Amino acid sequence: MSRSLSKFLQIAIPLGLGVFLIWYIYQSFTPQQLEETKKYFADANYGFVLLSVVFSVLSHLSRSYRWNFMLEPLGYKTKLANNFMAISVAYLMNIFIPKSGEVSRGIILDKYESVPFQKGFGTIISERVVDLIFLLFFTAIALLIKFDVLYEYVMASIPPSLLYVLIFGIVLMAISIPLYIKFSKSNINKKLKSFVIGLKEGVFSILKMKKKGAFLFHTFIIWGLYLLSFYTALHALPDTMNVPFGTIIITFVVGSFTFAFTNSGFGTYPAAVAGILTVFGVAKTVGTAFGWIVWISNISSIVFFGVISLVLLPVYNRKRLKL
Length of the chain: 323
Per-residue model confidence (pLDDT) at position 293: 93
Residue 30 phi, psi (nearest 5): -80, 160
Q: What are phi and psi of 237, to 5 degrees?
A: -120, 135
pLDDT of residue 221: 95
What's the whole-model pTM score? 0.81
CA atoms of 269 and 4, how far apart (whole Å): 27
- Comparing CA positions, the residue from 80, 78, 77, 46 lying closest to residue 63 is 80
The pLDDT of residue 30 is: 73
User: Dihedral sign, CA of 142, 148, 151, 153?
Assistant: negative
What is the residue type of 299? I
Q: Are 291 and 305 in contact (CB under 8 A)?
A: no
Chain centroid to CA 42: how far?
27
Could you tell me which of 141, 155, 154, 153 has the C-alpha nearest to residue 246? 141
d(C-alpha 252, C-alpha 231), whole Å: 9
Tell me how far apart the alpha carbons of residues 46 and 89 are, in angstroms, rounded to a whole number: 25
pLDDT of residue 5: 55
Q: Which amino acid is at 25?
A: I
Q: Where are the alpha helices (DSSP H) in the chain?
A: 3-27, 31-43, 46-71, 80-96, 100-113, 117-145, 147-157, 160-183, 187-207, 212-234, 245-261, 268-279, 284-322
Tens digits of pLDDT across the chain (323 residues): 455 555 555 555 655 665 666 666 667 677 787 788 889 888 899 999 999 999 999 999 999 999 998 888 878 889 999 999 999 999 998 888 777 888 899 899 999 998 888 888 888 888 888 888 888 888 888 888 776 766 665 565 556 666 677 777 778 877 877 776 666 666 666 666 666 665 565 556 667 777 888 898 999 999 999 999 999 999 999 999 998 888 888 899 888 888 776 677 777 888 889 888 988 888 889 999 999 999 999 999 999 999 999 999 999 888 666 55
C-alpha torsion 177→181→182→188, nearest 10: 140
The pLDDT score that the predictor gives to residue 108 is 92
The whole-angstrom separation of Cα 110 and Cα 99 is: 18
Tell me which DSSP letter residue 239 carries.
Answer: T
**Rounded Cα–Cα distance for residues 103 and 81 (Å):** 18
282 exposure class (CB count in 10 Å sphere: 0-12, 13-18, 19+): buried
Quick one: pLDDT at residue 168?
Answer: 78
**How far, rounded to the nearest angstrom, does the alpha carbon of residue 135 sit from its chain's CA centroid?**
9
| Distance separating alpha carbons of residues 303 and 307, to the nearest angstrom | 6
- End-to-end distance of the chain based on CA atoms, in angstroms? 51
